[in-house]
Amino acid sequence: MIVGIDLGTTNSLIAYFTEEGPKIIPNRLGNHLTPSVVSMDEEEQIYVGETAKERMLLYPDSAASVFKRDMGSSRKFQLLHKQFRPEELSALVLKALKEDAESYLGEEVTEAVISVPAYFNDDRRKATKRAGELAGLKVERIISEPTAAAIAYGLYQNQEDAKYLVFDLGGGTFDVSILELNDNIIEVRAVAGDNYLGGEDFTKVIEDMFFDKNIQIDKSKLSYRTLRHIHKQAELCKIGFADGNSSKMSCNVDGEQIEFALTLEAYEAACSDLLEKMKTPIKRTLSDAHIKVKDIDKVVLIGGATKLSFIRRFVGKIFRSLPDTSINPDEAVALGAAIQGAMKERNEAIREVVLTDVCPFTLGTEVVVEKEENVYEGGHFCPIIERNTTIPASRTERLYTIRDNQTKLNIKILQGESRFAENNLLLGKIEVSVPKAPAGEEAVDVTYTYDINSILEVEVTIVSTGEKKKQIIKGGHNDMSDEEIAERMKEIAYLKIHPREKEENKLLLLKGERLYEECLGNDRKLIERELQKFDDALDTRKQELIDEARENFRIFLKTFMEDDL
């Protein structure tokens, strides 16, 4: 059996697929949500979940939480006398979920689909896979949280073809994804997010308001235990807004009981900066997907923090419609991950759905740029496959030597959005030898081919000799063998063919060139302009832009030619 797991910043869930559809598996305490908290006692006994969360209030130096935010980093968490990496703590949470599922189902659980924020980079995804393996699970697939939620909604709400925007505000991360559902295809159009924005930040606003109101409290002199107690009360105060327009918290600070009442209006005003911060990923996804707010048919809310009423109003105001919360926002991701597991097993109870995805981060290489004549500056980033390109995809960039008699080129394989190479993630390197020649006369074609299985093939071709060198980089959650990867790269080799060489495009270009030669004057200038538009679209290698440009060029040619195109 393949289970689906939502490994969350604040809470985690596990689900499985049944004849009636996906279902959440309760933990040993009978609850659906398992707090993502780990604690250890003096005898090195490990506690996970609600017990660990309670122990954190009493023994704060023996517990850790919110470690998902640091997945893929070198940070260490101190629990008494031992240190743990974020993926080791996550593994303990996954192990507890696995044991709860085995107890509930009465059978061994060995395989899982685990969700991650859409904006997790390769290092974070690799760390998530390692956590699953440490917990004794074969990680069948890493699935983006918004994609998992869209699967849950798209399959079981009988929606017609539509464009979704999935607004995912969890405990520690924020993601926005635009997905398009067409028949049995769910296509991810664009993703953006913030790995350091979530429900915990909204809790901190209440903490800060508490201290601002009670200026007599010297925060710097409070024990960590007292600070954790105040944080817990702030969290309960936030949850309290589910029942009305006011809430309160009561804290014991150095033996004094301090009450703090808060209205929803004041709380919303204090969160204005966080709300404003959420607009940036929304704008980016709309821009990258080349659509407008009015084109979105449905907005889906997932993540526990979306239960705040002013978050829902905020989203509704932007999209001028009420967001869909028909599936519990805490549970949608786990349910979708369970459905994905059933798809992997080819369960007959569900119809097969084809999933497409996008490249969440730009892939490129380091180059030098000419600042002035014969003066070069290194360390610049050259994008090759841009973020939110539908995958699989292949793009080529030609790079030239900059020194006379240069014999080597070092291609750094990078992932990120910064214009400076050093700020992006280094995935690998390829060094090639080139013949000696004057500067700028030798060149290499650098081709990136990226697959939905997180396989990146980088092929460097020396233009003058035709000699090739390639490297395969696979995502940490990919278990494909070298033979399977080679076969897959053969299957998508067609992507390396430039769109200009495809017959339907080549035919139109030839007709345009012929028409240019036959005409004179202003007609020739007009044809040249339209030819350039089509040519520019072909150079983007973006299928949507190419299709639109081809149709526009076809219509234009019809006004000049008698042939039926």
Active-site residue numbers? 6, 68, 145, 168
How far apart are the C-alpha atoms of 524 and 531, rounded to whole Å?
Answer: 10
> CB atoms < 10 A from the CB of 555, how many?
11
Distance from C-alpha of 359 to C-alpha of 385, rounded to nearest angstrom: 8
- Whether residue 438 contacts residue 470, with contact meaning beta carbons closer than 8 Å, is answered with no
Distance CA 388, CA 10 (A): 28
**What phi, psi does 371 have (nearest 5°)?**
-80, -35
- Report the half-sphere exposure of 369 (CA within 13 A, side-chain side): 10
The first and second tokens of residue 265, run together, are 């209006």
- Amino acid symbol at 559: T
Per residue, the 3-state secondary structure of 21-39, as one string, reads EEEECCCCCCCCCEECEEE
Residue 554 and residue 514 in contact, taking contact as beta carbons nearer than 8 Å = no
> Coil, helix or strand for 553?
helix
CA 310 to chain centre: 25
What's the start-to-end Cα distance of the chain, in Å? 54
- Residue 247 and residue 241 in contact, taking contact as beta carbons nearer than 8 Å: yes
Residue type, 270: A
CB neighbour list of residue 259: distance below 8 Å, 6 or more residues apart: 248, 249, 250
Are 368 and 378 spatial neighbours (Cβ–Cβ below 8 Å)? Answer: yes
Which H/E stretch holds residue 357?
strand 354-358
Judge whether 175 and 370 are in contact, CB under 8 Å.
no
Is omega for the bond preceding 86 within 30 degrees of 0, making it cis? Answer: no
Compute CA 527 distance to the chain's CA centroid, rounded to the nearest angstrom: 42
Amino acid at 236: L
CA separation for the pair 65, 3 (Å, rounded): 24
